[in-house]
A and B are shown apart, each in its own frame.
Chain A
Amino acid sequence: MSANALMSLGIRAMNANYAALQATGHNIANANTEGYSRQSVVLETNGGQFTGAGFFGKGVNVATVQRAHSEFLTREAATSKSVAAADEARSAQLTQLEKVFPLGEAGLGYAASQMFNALVDVANKPSDTSSRQVVLARAGEFASKLATAGGQIETLQRGVTEELKASVTQANMLATRVAELNQRIASATGSGQTPNDLLDQRDQAISELSAYVQVTRIDAGDGTVSLFVGGGQKLVLAGQATPLVTVPDSYDATKLQLGVNDSGSLRMLSQELLTGGSIAGLMRFQNEDLVAARNQLGQLAAAVAGSVNRQQALGLDGSQPPGSGAPLLAVGAPRVLPASGNSGGGNVSISVAEPTELQASDYELLADPSLPAGSYTLTRLSDGSTQTVSNGSVVDGMRITIGAPAPAANDRFLLQPVAMAAVSASLAMENTRGLAAASPVAATFDVDNIGTASVSALSATAVNGAAAPLTATLTFTDDVGSYSWELRDAGNALVRSGTGSWSAGNPIRSDAWTPATPAQRYDWALELNGVPRSGDVLTVGATPFPASDNGNARAMMALGEAGLVGQRTVGGTVVPGASVTDAYANMLAEIGVRVQGAELAAQQSATIADQADADLQSKVGVNLDEEAARLIQFQQSYQAAAKMLQVAQSLFDTLLQAAG
């Protein structure tokens, strides 16, 4: 036993404790470093030396520096962060979208109903120019609110596009970083020690990447990790990163979809496969929420404009001589977008056949080769229902026209009947005289009528421009609504006659009379109040003084409360649509529910992510109190070791003195 042994023990102990102090210092220094895992020095005994008296310890050895780590918690934290980022991104976008549909007086529903309400003054005084001016102003306001809302939706789409591009760039940068770190870790691992700080950095990069897109992480044996995205597409393999790319949507180039560029070959990542990350949230917002909002808005715009314009056309305007009313509102036309991969230049177009039956959806038309020639599969994208259509089919209020050249087999087309309606909405009329306040037909009751019948509503239902206006005389032949009718021309010559029957609540329609030909210029529907008695006579003829008639203004105003939006015909039965107010209220509520749902999801997933992060941090994070205690602990040990050296030295001195 030499004094050397004690000296050596002391030095080892001092070194070991110094190393421990160093690790503690590193911990304290990185207490606030994102992604840092606390490190500790692993000490081990330096073995013993055999003597006759047994084994004498040779002191302490620093075995390694290790980091606190949990594979499971790290993975959990990254995954939950990914989900939270997706929910947060969608929720943030939806909050923006919600602002497109303001409540109350600022809203579209208010603007629409004010447009209809303004007609009350025209009905009160059809010849008053100022009240007509008010209607035009209100209609203009409605149109500009539609256009603004449509424009805001397009702005949101552009924002999403920009954000997607930026996110993809960031994600690619992080993926490249992971690949680089993989390489450095692999080479460092070769030395036999784990490069703790590099591992931390890689975990942090993966965690940051997860905020953009959710990845699956698989550890290779050599210290590298592989990352996969969207159900198995490789993103990082050892030192190689495969870049994500944004690809223009095959129908609409203003939209972006996501793919990976695997050494030159493009693989699409469908939105359904992207389960997390802000990119997934943005894609879902773009492909679901924005499409739904755009179509709902367009449906409202197309239904209201179509109905109002149709009613306009059925009335007489204030010009001299009075003519059929011109359109009051203009909205964007329906459009057809061929898929970019189509092999032929199929000629497909759509037009609005019945504005009130338009649905808030896009449609996909597929030239399915398994169907007979001229038949196509049409899928309503809002609910996925399919049907077979051909040229001229009318589906949900839109007429599909398929001309030559016919679409090639397997070619696809996106049909958007209403998507663009709102964004280009405008007021189509400038002159107040253009407002068709007058009905072209007027009913008069014979003064000697004894029944209580009077006109509840009389309006033209169709204009047959080529035919002459005729005067109809209805004479009731009994007390239960049977009548005979005669149509006479301007020279009072009988054109045709017949019989019909009236029942309460059902209008008398001139186009339902048989024989139906020759046509008269205005077909009309007459609703009666009260009950006609036998012998009562009523006459429906051309309005002699259109300038002071308000029949069409009344009819147009009644549209304000009619079920204009989204009427359906199911099995021959008409299911009425929603009124303008209801349609907007429903739209509001739906967006509100979406936002609420997204916010709730974002809150929940953020809580889960926070919890997962807290769990991870409690395992790997630095606690300064703990480090302070460790400082004392290792300082004391260090001091003790130093004391050992002192003792060893004094032993040595003693020996020298004794020898001296």
Chain B
Amino acid sequence: MSLRISTRQLAESGIATLQKRQIEMSESQEQLTSGKRVARASDDPAAAARAERALAGEMRAQTSQRAVDASRTAMSLSETAMGDALELMQQAREAMVAAGNASYSDQERRNLAEKVKAIRNQLLTVANRSDGAGSYLFGGQGASTQPFADAPGGVAYRGISGERRTEEGTDLPLTVNGDGVFMTARTGNGVYETRAGAGVTAAWIDNGQVSDPAALTGSTYTLQFSVTAGATTYAVLRDGNPTAVTAAPYTSGQDITVDGMTFRVSGTPAAGDSFTVAPSSSTLSIFDTLDRAVAQLATGGRSTAQIAQGNTDALRDIDQSMAQLQGARAVAGEMLVRIEGETSRLADQKLAAQEQRASAEDLDMTEAISKFQSRQTGYDAALKSYSMVQRLSLFDYLNA
């Protein structure tokens, strides 16, 4: 404390103090009005940076949610489409079961063929269903036009197998791999496929089953029938080479087991008839299945055995295709569950980011109001004391 006080200094420091108080008040008031503690980076650099990151996090969560929404739309539309496809396949299956009725005439089967044909065309429409925004539900990684198109030799997949996915943060499917759903079911019973050779008219082979998985070889087997003196025997060839089974006696409907595979041949095979047992491949097209079913239903004048073989094959393929569809539908359903999970995760993330931003830059109202009040008191006191001190002057007393 200095020993003297200059009057000008006194006035000036008084004015400076008043201004300082007033600035503090206006700062407090600005904060109260905006509700923000950090209006400029220099108010709290670390908090400003934290708020900046939180804002980016919030926006990122919002963005990811858009991706998730797009995926949800695509997945739920696909799931519905696959449900429709399954229903159609169920109808086709019922038609095929009906076609197995021994009392049906060729004409009745032809009618069924028409029905299956209609189903097949509907199915093609379902498979080519668009998401309503110019892209195809089953378009895979991309397709320029409808992904499934009639082509010589059956419906072809024009897209590229795989699926288009959302941005890397969410990585959810935006399309379903149409190739996988409709075109690449397992042939036969899933492990191997039985086929009647050309010209077999009086015998048929069932789908077979796996009796000993450990014994499977993955080779292609051929059953060759011969009839010698009324006794029907068969030989088994493996990849075209003779095996130990060369003249096994044949009984209609009896299990034949070859290297872990058990199947039955029924009817009366003629000499030279052959049946093939080949490993399954993932090449079964749902459209080809229906095309074949239509073709054989529409073919008149077939033997009972041929009809039986045709129905067996068609039902087997329909079942395989439906299993494939069901699997894909389950995946889509599963994906919808994941999408729900993702949605709530993103909502949490967004909320957390908002809270973080608020805690970084928002004002603690209680604290701010009490601060404002104390500053108000301070300003009031400064005004009062200033006016009182300034009023004091020796000259006043001298006048009196």
User: Taking the complex as formed, is B363 at the interface, i.e. its CB lies under 8 A from any CB of chain A?
Assistant: no
Question: Which residues on A sit within 8 Å (CB–CB) of B133?
Answer: 125, 128
Provide the bound-state CA to CA distance between A524 and B41, in Å.
42
Question: Known interface pairs A117-B63, A595-B40. Does A457 touch B168 (Cβ–Cβ under 8 Å)?
Answer: yes
Instruction: Report the stretch among B6-14, B205-213, B339-347 that lies at the interface.
Output: B6-14
Provide the bound-state CA to CA distance between A613 and B2, in Å.
12
Question: Which residues on B sit within 8 Å (CB–CB) of A468?
Answer: none
B282 engages A104 (CB within 8 Å)? no
- Measured CB to CB, the nearest residue on chain A to B6 is A621
Provide the bound-state CA to CA distance between A614 and B56, in Å.
50
User: Taking the complex as formed, is A197 at the interface, i.e. its CB lies under 8 A from any CB of chain B?
Assistant: no
- Measured CB to CB, the nearest residue on chain A to B133 is A125
Contact indicator per residue, chain B 151-170, by CB within 8 Å of chain A (1) or not (0) = 00000000111101111110
Provide the bound-state CA to CA distance between A613 and B184, in Å.
92
Provide the bound-state CA to CA distance between A618 and B13, in Å.
12
| Set B41, B166, B180: member contacting A447, Cβ < 8 A | B180
| Set B8, B16, B52, B164: member contacting A103, Cβ < 8 A | B52
Interface centre among A457, A588, A592, A628 (most CB of B within 10 A): A592
Question: Which residues on A sit within 8 Å (CB–CB) of B41?
Answer: 98, 101, 103, 588-589, 591-592, 595
| Set A98, A114, A582: member contacting B42, Cβ < 8 A | A98
CB distance from B10 to the nearest CB of A (A): 8
Provide the bound-state CA to CA distance between A524 and B143, in Å.
22
Provide the bound-state CA to CA distance between A626 and B4, in Å.
10
Question: Which residues on A sit within 8 Å (CB–CB) of B43?
Answer: 592
Instruction: Report the stretch among B92-100, B134-142, B192-200, B327-335 that lies at the interface.
Output: B134-142
Question: Which residues on A sit within 8 Å (CB–CB) of B184?
Answer: 447
B134 engages A125 (CB within 8 Å)? yes
B135 engages A125 (CB within 8 Å)? yes
Interface centre among B16, B134, B142, B281 (most CB of A within 10 A): B142
A617 engages B9 (CB within 8 Å)? yes
A592 engages B7 (CB within 8 Å)? no
A596 engages B64 (CB within 8 Å)? no
- How many residues of A are in contact with the other chain, CB < 8 A? 78
A588 engages B52 (CB within 8 Å)? yes
Question: Which residues on B sit within 8 Å (CB–CB) of A447?
Answer: 161, 179-180, 184, 282
A549 engages B141 (CB within 8 Å)? yes
A123 engages B142 (CB within 8 Å)? no
CB distance from A378 to the nearest CB of B (A): 32
Question: Which residues on B sit within 8 Å (CB–CB) of A625?
Answer: 7, 393-394
Contact indicator per residue, chain B 278-290, by CB within 8 Å of chain A (1) or not (0) = 0001100000000
Provide the bound-state CA to CA distance between A98 and B23, in Å.
20
Contact indicator per residue, chain B 360-383, by CB within 8 Å of chain A (1) or not (0) = 010000000000000000000000
B45 engages A593 (CB within 8 Å)? yes
B139 engages A103 (CB within 8 Å)? no
A599 engages B42 (CB within 8 Å)? yes
User: Taking the complex as formed, is A10 at the interface, i.e. its CB lies under 8 A from any CB of chain B?
Assistant: no
Question: Known interface pairs A31-B8, A455-B162, A581-B53. Does A548 touch B394 (Cβ–Cβ under 8 Å)?
Answer: no
Question: Known interface pairs A110-B56, A610-B16. Does A548 touch B144 (Cβ–Cβ under 8 Å)?
Answer: yes
Instruction: Report the stretch among A269-277, A395-403, A539-547 that lies at the interface.
Output: A539-547
Instruction: Report the stretch among A186-194, A206-214, A422-430, A437-445 that lies at the interface.
Output: A437-445
- Measured CB to CB, the nearest residue on chain B to A119 is B167
Provide the bound-state CA to CA distance between A629 and B395, in Å.
9
A595 engages B9 (CB within 8 Å)? no
CB distance from B218 to the nearest CB of A (A): 12
B6 engages A623 (CB within 8 Å)? yes
User: Taking the complex as formed, is A298 at the interface, i.e. its CB lies under 8 A from any CB of chain B?
Assistant: no
A588 engages B4 (CB within 8 Å)? no
CB distance from B62 to the nearest CB of A (A): 8
Question: Known interface pairs A119-B167, A120-B63, A586-B49. Does A105 touch B142 (Cβ–Cβ under 8 Å)?
Answer: no
User: Taking the complex as formed, is A383 at the interface, i.e. its CB lies under 8 A from any CB of chain B?
Assistant: no
Question: Known interface pairs A110-B55, A444-B141, A588-B45. Does A629 touch B394 (Cβ–Cβ under 8 Å)?
Answer: yes
Provide the bound-state CA to CA distance between A101 and B134, in Å.
41
Question: Which residues on B sit within 8 Å (CB–CB) of A591?
Answer: 41-42, 45
Of the A-B pairs whose beta carbons lie under 8 Å apart in the complex, a sample of 29, sorted by A's number, is A31-B7, A103-B38, A103-B40, A103-B361, A110-B55, A110-B59, A123-B166, A124-B67, A124-B166, A127-B135, A445-B161, A447-B161, A447-B179, A448-B282, A456-B168, A543-B141, A546-B142, A554-B167, A561-B169, A585-B49, A614-B9, A617-B9, A618-B4, A618-B5, A622-B7, A624-B7, A628-B393, A628-B394, A629-B394
